[in-house]
Structure 1
């Protein structure tokens, strides 16, 4: 990543300049917060399917923008590992353990940070635990908490469906699934948001999450229950203490953030289009269709961290060196003109989007997230007659960090 630009016309395009150079585009800061898609398209025009960028703290990385190139990275862990211990900038001391990127990119003893047999062992424990949790009533929990959230604003005739509904509902369901006290939910929502946002507080909030989950694991060793924490502790894969806590963290942050973001975007789509809303209410339209559209157009993670090149190779016309960091532009890949030349054309029935990742590390909890969203939408539409946007759809705004783009608010009105 430290190579200087070449004057050789036959050299691979867009090789990164010196570490920390201001010539590279930053995926953080004011422009990235307000127009991430504009940045992705500019980078695509300048560099093609892969572009050199800077992450928080001016850490160099390759942003993969092309759909096929993203799939190549996701499907080939032998060339593109998830093991951050091979990351050259970390290995050579340019990225400290206290860097705000570490909670999202750094190595942990969980299945996301492993490949091969270690990954299969840990992934099996997570998959089995999540399946057991799903069998024990995710839809029932989602229905209970959806009604409880709506009860708090149903008599007001107006609400913000981000702050009053989508932001907390998934976490309330997850606290029940994981075995946490319900009262921990709001604090964990705040801390998860800070971890995704990065910045100086990311490490502090990550430590707070780890402390809460360590206490949960200790409690469940002596007081087991029908929950995900107990399932991990008792799994035949024999997870140690650090592995159990790390997987609790993984599921908590990943499931909450992605489900919360996706729920807000699905509600935005429904309320911005009268035909979608009436179709759902009448039963002519299935909620899974709208969810599929949202996963193509506004995936809950716009950029997926991170992969590390195990060897020097070519990708998207660029030379990637061993130990380079790659981050995957899921939102950019979903609108890659090579696979989606007209984003306005319906994607109904096409589930080949990148929203859930792909390959060995494809999201194992997507069924639970989908169940929460389906119940959340169904309960909302049946509880709130005359539900409509309180502002024109074009006035809705979003704020992005490196990894996600969150809908700021979704003000609505309804009959009382």
Structure 2
């Protein structure tokens, strides 16, 4: 595969913002289950759109490795390549460890998250969600992305990890600055790194009942630097997709008549909307990546040793070979790829935490804001122009003004 492949599809452009489903269908029709794509700067890669092919890639970590040192394009990657923060070399986090080292590290993370008290998790999520709604409820209008969804997950995660409530707002700013990717991204990253290092030093001196303390207590021999890296990855990976899960689900419920009943106190429809979003409008659309450890075949394509293979999560979710009758969206079917698959998937306890935060966030909005409705035509809602993460730029709503929980206007 070369960067000048004539049939390669640029992994960018307005269709990822306006019609990714149509784009994935066209890719599959014209190129098959494994599509040659070109990243920023003419860098070649393969995008796996087939459900079975993606299952094959994620289920074979030896053939399709997470070790980015294998990449056969490093000599063509400039130091200022914009995707380096996502596809970096020798990154110290859990994302890029392999083999037994990765299994031990993943077990440490999973154990620390699994010990989170589910009742306490729900209580934290409700409290922070109510605080955010208190700031909005007297106005009669709000942007549920910028003023709510993008502020909630990191507050809950920070509390679970061991940060104080007073530290939460600055962490929200840091995470959102990093996601924004502009001039404040480096400052946000520096604040997050400094905060994590300080938290671990505090917890080393005085352990508590939190995720950071449990990871420090693990006997697998990981350094504080490694644990700090994993906590930062977990917070970043948990915040943005969960915020988009909230925003995308609320959009569906406010624009689709099938979910109208849930706006008046129904609960089953909330879960159904969230599940449908994971199948049809998943926050994490595509993931980089895996690298072929040797020459192989995949979906009728010749994959060379060192080729970059991208995981097309949304493309696989919509593969017509597994969606022939539409049954994927019913009965709580969670066989989607929205949390990945295989040993590098999102840990199951992390999935459960994200689901509680998202569902609680949605339910609090529906409980607290009466007769909520879109403030703009549904067709005017816009998405971020990203092939990686799919979420709304804003979700303007209007509602009858009401008072804060304390009985007074915020």
Note whether the superposition's TM-score is higher than 0.5: yes
Contact 1:36/1:400 (<8 A) preserved:
no
Contact 1:26/1:54 (<8 A) preserved:
yes
Cα distance in 2 for residues equivalent to 1:201 and 1:55: 24
Cα distance in 2 for residues equivalent to 1:412 and 1:344: 32
Cα distance, 1:332–1:263 mapped onto 2, change above 3 Å: same
State the SS of the aligned residue for 1:406. coil
Pairwise CA distance, 1:135? 4.6
241-250 or 39-48: bigger deviation: 39-48
2:175 to 140, 165, 189: 189
Q: Which residue of 2 aligns with 1:10?
A: none
State the SS of the aligned residue for 2:103. helix
Cα distance in 1 for residues equivalent to 2:71 and 2:255: 43
Cα distance, 1:343–1:393 mapped onto 2, change above 3 Å: farther
For normalisation by structure 2, the TM-score amounts to 0.89
Cα distance in 2 for residues equivalent to 1:394 and 1:45: 27
Pairwise CA distance, 1:202? 6.0
Structure 2 counterparts to residues 104-119 of structure 1, below 5 A:
104-106=86-88, 107-119=90-102
Pairwise CA distance, 1:68? 1.0
List alignment gaps of at least 5 residues for structure 1: 3-16
Count residues with an aligned counterpart.
Answer: 395
Pairwise CA distance, 1:291? 1.2
Q: Which residue of 2 aligns with 1:27?
A: 11
Cα distance in 2 for residues equivalent to 1:343 and 1:27: 28
Structure 2 counterparts to residues 243-282 of structure 1, below 5 A:
243-279=226-262, 281-282=264-265
Q: Which residue of 1 aligns with 2:390?
A: 405
Q: Which residue of 2 aligns with 1:376?
A: 361
Cα distance, 1:131–1:102 mapped onto 2, change above 3 Å: same
Structure 2 counterparts to residues 60-75 of structure 1, below 5 A:
60-75=44-59
Q: Is residue 400 of structure 2 the alignment partner of residue 415 of structure 1?
A: yes
Pairwise CA distance, 1:185? 2.6
Contact 1:191/1:208 (<8 A) preserved:
no
367-376 or 268-277: bigger deviation: 268-277
RMSD of aligned C-alpha atoms? 2.4
1:101 to 83, 104, 109: 83
List alignment gaps of at least 5 residues for structure 2: 402-410
State the SS of the aligned residue for 2:116. helix
Cα distance in 1 for residues equivalent to 2:79 and 2:263: 48
Cα distance in 2 for residues equivalent to 1:83 and 1:412: 44
2:131 to 130, 136, 148: 148
Cα distance in 2 for residues equivalent to 1:55 and 1:210: 28
308-317 or 345-354: bigger deviation: 345-354
Q: Which residue of 2 aligns with 1:7?
A: none
Contact 1:103/1:206 (<8 A) preserved:
no
Cα distance, 1:231–1:266 mapped onto 2, change above 3 Å: same
2:120 to 137, 154, 173: 137
53-62 or 242-251: bigger deviation: 53-62
State the SS of the aligned residue for 2:69. helix
